[in-house]
Every structure is written in structure tokens, then in C-alpha cells.
Amino acid sequence: MEIHVYDTYVKAKDGHTMHFDVFTGVKDDKKAIEYAKQWLTSIGEGDATVTSKECNFCHSQSAPPNVTDAINKDGYFIYKMEGCG
């Protein structure tokens, strides 16, 4: 499966920057932002600002099975990098 990667930086409640990628099965900027907001809400950061400024399409690539499974189930996969706990 080819996935689309959206590089995302948001400001957490305590002021630190959270850096993560949103992986999706469709190249859709609005969906990627929606998925980022869903995930942020699930970790208690629902008030974080997420727009096309914070969540940008980066590239497309193939995905390993665990990522493909998550995208098939939930529509997206979050790859946590810096400041995500």
C-alpha cells in the first residue's frame, strides 16, 4: 500500500512543540488535518491548533503491514517523533 505522509508540528498545552507524521491512504490535506485533530483530542491536546500551516504534505511511500492495518482500520496512523510523550 502506498501511503501519504503529512509532517505535523503543533504547540501542546504546556507550550512545548509536538512533532509527528500523519500517515493516510489518500492524499487529502483536509483529511490529514482532521486525523491529526482526532489523535490530539485522544491524548488530551484537543485545543492544539492544526491547520495547513502545521500539517503539510511531505511525500508518499510504501508502508509496513502494521501501518497498513491501522490505516485500513482507522483511516490513519500517527508516527510520533519529538515531544509526543
Note the pTM of the prediction, 2 decimals.
0.95
d(CA 8, CA 66): 21
- 85 residues of the chain, pLDDT tens digit each: 899 999 999 999 999 999 999 999 999 999 999 999 999 999 999 999 999 999 999 999 999 999 999 999 999 999 999 999 7
Cβ proximity of 34 and 80 under 8 Å = no
Which residues of 12-48 form beta strands (DSSP E)? Answer: 17-24
Structural domains present in the chain: 2-80 (3.10.510.10)
Query: How distant is the alpha carbon of residue 36 from its chain centre?
Result: 4
